[in-house]
Every structure is written in C-alpha cells, then in structure tokens.
Chain A
C-alpha cells in the first residue's frame, strides 16, 4: 500500500501545481510549448501526399498495403481460418490438463476490451458524416484486410514472448522485433533492436495520448453533453472528472485493487452487448429503410456525390476510421494476446482474426447503419463531436439512450485506459528496466495525463498522441515483413496437422 500512498501524494502535488498554473491559462502555455514538437512529429507521421485532391497520409497507405500483402501472402487467411478460429475461441481444442490457464476466449476478450470503445462510437459517426454512407463500405473492407495484419502480429507476439522466471508471461512487438530479427543474423539483430526501441517509445507516447488523454477527454465531453451541455454544472469541472478517473485508475494500477478492474472487465462486455442490441433494435424497427441504406453504402462507395475528394475522399474516411478503431498493424494487440496458453503460436493468430471482425465489421457497421437510417449524419460536423452525433442517432429511437451511452463511453474509456496502461508500462520497462522505481514513475505519469486529458482542450497534444499510436505501425509492420516466413512456417505446419486430423478435439459438438 505504500506504493499507492506515494502515488496519490504525487498525484495530489502534481495536481496542486497544475491548478495554480490553470489560473494563468496552462492549456495555452502547454499548447505553445508543445506545439512545434508535436507538429513536427505529427507532420512526419501524417506526412501526406495528394491523390485526386485529397491529402492521403503515408501511414494509412503503409497500414493498408501491409494488410493487403499479408492477406495475399497467407492466401486469404482471414477467410480460410475463420471457422477454425471460432472453434478455438469456443474451446473445441482446450487441453483439459491446461484448465486454469489463459484461454483463447480470455485473450481475445481482453484484447477486444482495449479496442472496442470510442473508435466504434465516435469515429464511425465522423466517417459517415465526412465521407457519406459510402465510407462504411471502405471501413468494412479495411476491417476485413486488417484481420490479416492482426493474424500476423499476434502469431509473432505469442511465438517470441518472454516467460519470466516468476512465471509471468510478457510479449509484444518489443520482443518479436528483437528476438525474431536476431535469428536472421547480426545485421538484422541491430535493426531489430532499433525497431524495438522505436516501437516502445511510440507505444509509451500512444499510451499517454490516444490510450489515455483522448479517452478521458471524450468521455468527459459526453458526460457534459448528457448533463445539459454548456449549462451543465460539470461543464467547467473537467479537472474534477479527471481527478476521480485518475483515482480509480490509480487504485487499479498502483494499489493493485483488482476488484475495480474485475468489475469493469465484467461490465464492459455487458455494455458492448447492450450497445449492439440497441443498434440492432433500431435497425429492425426501421427494416423497410435497410435496403436503401445498404444501397446508399454501396453507391456512395463508388460515386461519392458532394463529398470533398470524391471516391478517394470517401475511401480515405472509411480506411482512416477503421484503422483508428481496430488498431490492426499498430502492434498493441500483440501485447494483449500474448498471454494465452498454447504450444502453437499460430492458434492465437486465428483467434485474433476475430478482433477486427467484431470491432470493425460488426460493431462499426451497426453504428453506421443506425446513423444512416436515422439520418443524423451531418457533413458539417466538427470531428470532435463524434460521440454527440451517435448519441443523437440513438436518441431518435430511444430517448433514454444517451444516458446508457454515457455510462458505456465512460466504461469503455476506463477499460481502454487500463489496457493501454499495461501496454505502455511494458514498453516503458522494456526501455528503462523492470524495477519498482521505473514502474512507479510510469504509473504516476500515466495518472497525471488522465487529469490533463480531461481538463483541457489540447489540440496539439491530442494530434501528437494520435501520431504516436500510428507511428507504432512503422517499426512494427517493417519487422512483420521480415518475419513473414516465420509465420508462414508455423501456419503451414499447423494447417497440415489440422487438415490431417492430428489435433485432438476435446469438445464433441
């Protein structure tokens, strides 16, 4: 508990110094101080080139090209292994001797709770508003291709994970980039180290930004929105919200109060199911509009009337929001999936196919259909108002839904923060070593960013943090290209065993 009290004391002192500054406009000061640096990083990561009048960021091309290459290299693994992935999640191949270890289902559920969230709710609304209904088509396609990226990185995550002497398991791009590339020779070993360090730096940045400040910021915005907007008592109390959230997150990650995490991890799937069911209910209530909505999605994907940038503009919106939402190719999921109990790494790759499927193809499509059917999309929307847009789309069918959505958004944000605090910590300790001091330093910083994120409108910092998450894809996917033959070997060996019936099915259905 001493670690906890040190953490809280540090947080309070950080907050005290912060509130003194607040009177003199700290958000402006931070903006001015950080902006040149943030702009440089964001400018580099989101380096764009014009295609048909639309500025396309290179990182997006990088993600999509990798997803296409992996899909073809593994001969449409996203279709081929879809059924077998489901059998694995269902537990058909559970080894009874391994009961009590982390199952495929648990690894998938944990990874999903890190990605299902604001991207599915807010991001989709922005995509449909800016890109028209047609953006949905490209979003689904990007989700489908992204399945192959997840397959690749999660297989590698398990294959090169570390099993530490104390029995804990730790995996992710930091490990497969170092260990995997080292197997290819001395030159590759050096490259692997550089890529792993870069990945870890970006991952720490992403864990403070997109995995933390953005979440705190957006959930607070929705809370204010549902309690009366600008007239809400909470409107100027972002710091209070931030402090409460930081305390709860702190209790989990510093105090080791597992109860809170356990309760959240049980409520989050329930909220996700509620959200999906409400969406399906709205779609069924308006079933006569569904054919025309699907027509609009398909027509819009290829015609794009009145959308800036034409078809390329629509495609860009769809791909961008899919990438934001499912993080395929970013490498974060490989950390979450790597704790699974299996002797065949490729099995977790099959299971990971379900992550973009559930996240993007199922949940995002439902959100998009609801927004299109209810006609709530608005081309003049401010991209930061995504949650409100989805909220009013659901409200038009169920007047009470914004309250439920607010609870869902806050819980999704909370579980995303818990997940990212783990990803960031693993990267931090990879860089600075694993001891109590480095551990506590990271956690205190993480909590500070929760308060910062919810109390300020830091445009530059938010841009910077998005850039950090996407920057993770550069070292991660470059390493994945080099390691493709390793994955292929694992896949071919396993697939031969599977097809010849050598694998023991423990569940007869």
Chain B
C-alpha cells in the first residue's frame, strides 16, 4: 500500500516549486499524488438575485478555468513522467477545504508552496500555510 500526497497549487511560482518537490518524492516512493486548486469561496456572502440565478453556470466556468489553466497542465506533464496523479478543483475556505479533502482521500502529507506574503498581510488575513499547519490532521510540508 503506497502513500498518498496532496499538493495545493495557486498558479504561482511557489506552488510550482511545491509541485516539483512533491513529484520528486512521489517518484521515489511510488506515492499517489493529488494536484489541488481551491477557489476561495464563502457560503456567507451577499449577492444579488441575478448573481444567484447565474451562480450555477459561473461555478461550472470557474471550475473549468481552474482545470484548464492551472491544474490540468501540471497533471498532464506529471503523467508523461509516469506518475499516478489526479487533479482536483473545489470551492471553499482554502485551508479548511484542503484539510477536509486530504482526510477524505487518505492523504498522509499536504505539500504547499511558501506564500511569500508580507508580514502585515499574513497577520491580517492569515496565510493558508500557517492556518493549515495549525489545523491539519496530517503532516504539512511548506516548500520555500
């Protein structure tokens, strides 16, 4: 039984480094790999009636764009390298959703890129990495 790894990507260079790190480990250990992109979304926002009516359609578009622009290119590239890899796109609070997904997929290690946000911004909004480190139910690796 091989282990399962999950990489959280956000389309940035840091996310790219996390992917390389995870791919190397997966190659060495034969682990299964999930490439995950979370679309920031809250169930408690305010919207107009028209936005609500179009929401289902917009959601599909958002998921498709995340797949075609960010997740799928990475998955395709790693597949050609012979890795067992799958792409996932979800809506939600980034840290909470990554944790919940990891739990449901039996992931042993979540791998993230360093966000590189300024100190102030991280204080005000909290960074995904630090939130996840505090709340995750599996190991979290932050790649610099």
Contact = CB atoms under 8 A, between A and B. Distances in A.
A165 to B, nearest CB: 10
A103 B43 contact: yes
Interface string B42-76: 01111111111111110110110000000000000
Interface residues of B, number: 26
B144 interface: no
Contacts of B100: 96
Given A100-B62, A110-B48, A167 B56 contact: yes
B91 A99 contact: yes
Contacts of A269: 46
Interface string A251-277: 000000010011001101100000000
B97 interface: yes
B144 to A, nearest CB: 30
Nearest to A267: B46
B90 interface: yes
A100 B49 contact: no
B91 A100 contact: yes
Interface stretch (A197-205, A334-342, A369-377): A334-342
B126 interface: no
A339 B55 contact: yes
A109 B49 contact: no
Contact of B53 (A105, A113, A265, A339): A339
B39 interface: yes
Interface in A254-312: 258, 261-262, 265-266, 268-269
For A99, A166, A169, A423, which residue has the most chain B Cβ atoms within 10 angstroms? Answer: A99
B53 A106 contact: no
A265 B53 CA distance: 15
A106 B42 CA distance: 10
Given A99-B97, A100-B39, A110 B49 contact: yes
Main secondary structure of the interface of A (DSSP, over half): helix
A258 B41 contact: no
Main secondary structure of the interface of B (DSSP, over half): helix
Nearest to B39: A100
B43 A94 contact: yes
Contacts of B106: none
B107 to A, nearest CB: 16
Contacts of A105: 43-44
Contacts of A103: 43-44
B53 A168 contact: yes
A109 B49 CA distance: 10
A262 B55 CA distance: 14
B43 A266 contact: no
A106 B49 contact: no
B56 A341 contact: yes
B11 interface: no
Nearest to A415: B48
A419 B91 CA distance: 26
Nearest to B100: A96
B90 A99 contact: yes
B49 A339 contact: yes
A422 B92 contact: no
Interface in B13-52: 39, 41, 43-52
A99 B92 contact: yes
A57 interface: no
Nearest to B90: A99
Contact of A113 (B43, B46, B54): B46
Given A100-B91, A103-B43, A268-B46, 8 more contacts: A99-B97, A100-B55, A107-B52, A166-B57, A167-B56, A168-B54, A341-B55, A419-B48
Interface of A: 91, 94, 96, 99-103, 105-107, 109-110, 113-114, 163, 166-170, 258, 261-262, 265-266, 268-269, 335-336, 339-341, 418-419, 422-423
5 contacts: A99-B91, A100-B55, A168-B54, A169-B56, A339-B53
Top 10 closest A-B pairs, CB basis? A100-B91, A167-B57, A339-B52, A99-B91, A103-B43, A265-B46, A422-B49, A100-B59, A102-B55, A99-B92
